[in-house]
Homo-oligomer: A and B are copies of this chain.
Amino acid sequence: MGSGKVSLRDVARHAGVSPSTVSNVLNGRVGRMRDETSERVRQAVRELGYAPNQLARQLRTGQVRTIGLLVPSVANPFWGFVALRVEQAASERNYQVLLCNAERDPAREARFAETLLDSGVRGLIFGSSPLSFDHLTTFAGRGLQVVAFDRSLAGAGSVVVGSVEIDNVLAARLATSHLTGLGHTRIGFLSGPIRTVSRRERLAGYRQALEAAGIGFDPGLVWEGASVTAFGDAEGAELGRAGAHHLLSRPDRPTALFTINDMYAIGAYAGARDLGLRVPDDLSVLGFDDLPVLAEVAAPPLTTVRQPLPEMMRVATDQLIGRLEGERSGEPEHVTAAAELVVRQSTAPPGGR
């Protein structure tokens, strides 16, 4: 049994051939030798239990079968799902996934990009697109390819080679229209700091839907989160709760809240409860993401916008790996997936019906 480390040289010796030949066999270049020889090599490989040292191979070829996945937060289960899905898709193409959590900090994002490049990784999936990719342009020059989970605008072209997204504007319009359709006219928009493309777009969609319904846009009904310092684990549900407190304490209290994601929605539930309001009787809440299981089992089950996550992650991963393998090239590809409004029981007409 191979105990220590068996190298290609050992195999060569064992098979009575040169290292080059072994390498050739292993890489399928068998046309240039007798069948008998390649069989003998294969035999030796088996007998010694040889497995090539990827580090050495990668150093030589510059090819690394690993991609990075950058997520923006450890607090939202959504990203855990994303991670698992990406690993699933990558593993089918025999790639590995390095998990990076940048906490939405551009400096950390850059640091991760750096580390990835240094370890030979040349592909990165960006969980949530920051408003600008400027801090990453240098890395593009060094060979880093980025696929974004949301489409980005500014300066993205130089870094981003592909993206998968839902139409966030449309989705938010859909969601908001659902609320106006129920008769709501004072609809709050509950979000953390708007520092990603998707958030900005959702706000735009919200606004469009309001205007389409002949309701004026009231900046006072938009809550953009606490101070930036209070970030980190406080995010998500806690922020949602705080925001709900704020918006629901206004004199002309909104009768519905559209939240930037399901965690905020859950937080809004808590916030409403704190103020003695009941969902959906006194307050409708509409989320975003359709967090698996959570949205369904929340009390009440959450009306929300679903992103087809597994599919989107597969597309993103395939785009990226396709680039790395040279199957794809040229202009960035942008894929738009269909979002869907899932109506459950957290929304109802205003006024307790």
Contact = CB atoms under 8 A, between A and B. Distances in A.
Given A84-B79, A299-B298, A54 B293 contact: no
A91 B101 contact: yes
A137 to B, nearest CB: 11
B54 A119 contact: yes
Contact of A59 (B56, B294, B299): B56
A24 interface: no
Interface string A60-104: 000010100101001001011101110110010000111111000
A118 B6 CA distance: 11
14 contacts: A55-B58, A59-B59, A66-B119, A71-B84, A74-B87, A77-B81, A87-B101, A96-B98, A96-B119, A266-B297, A269-B297, A297-B298, A299-B300, A299-B301
A216 interface: no
Interface residues of A, number: 55
Contact of A52 (B5, B64, B118): B118
Contacts of A188: none
Nearest to A3: B141
Given A80-B81, A98-B96, A55 B3 contact: no
A263 interface: yes
A338 interface: no
A242 to B, nearest CB: 16
B97 A98 contact: yes
Interface in A26-72: 51-56, 58-59, 64, 66, 69, 71
A146 interface: no
A146 to B, nearest CB: 18
